[in-house]
Amino acid sequence: MAILTIENDIISQLQSSITELKVEGFPENPSEYKLLHPKGAVLVRFQGASYSSPNEAGFIQQTANLEFNLTLMIKGLRDKNGAYNYIEAIISALTGFQGMYPAKVSFLTEDAGIWRYSLVFVVPGENYSL
């Protein structure tokens, strides 16, 4: 499955599950991004992949686990519209979707009341053969 296809599927899944926030692909120029939505946003991007050791049986075959990073930008931390609530909502919406699972949640920063968290999800089992 293509990286862009998976990314778009994640965006669609979150848009249908978390309608109160803006959900979109990570901007091409992140330093220029401004949060304009009144509540917050979730930005989705491909982060990378990890590969298994190759199996050698006349050709090389490896399994790739694709990692996608979601950056939650939200006004508020603990209330019902805050970061904690949306972290749980994102995990609930994506766990099991296309076999994906959460791998890590990290606090990034807080600036002028806008909290930023990183959520990493793994899509397992892409097989590549050479």
| Assigned CATH topology for domain 3-53+60-129 | STM4215-like (3.30.2000)
- Asked whether 33 and 27 are in contact (CB, 8 A), the reply is yes
- Asked whether 100 and 46 are in contact (CB, 8 A), the reply is no
pTM beyond 0.85: the answer is: yes
Q: Is the pLDDT of residue 127 over 60?
A: no
Domain boundaries, the chain: 3-53+60-129
**10 token code pair:** 């994640």
Residue 67's H or E segment, with its range, is: strand 60-75
Lowest mean pLDDT among 8-12, 18-22, 26-30: 26-30
62-75 pLDDT, tens per residue?
788 899 999 999 99
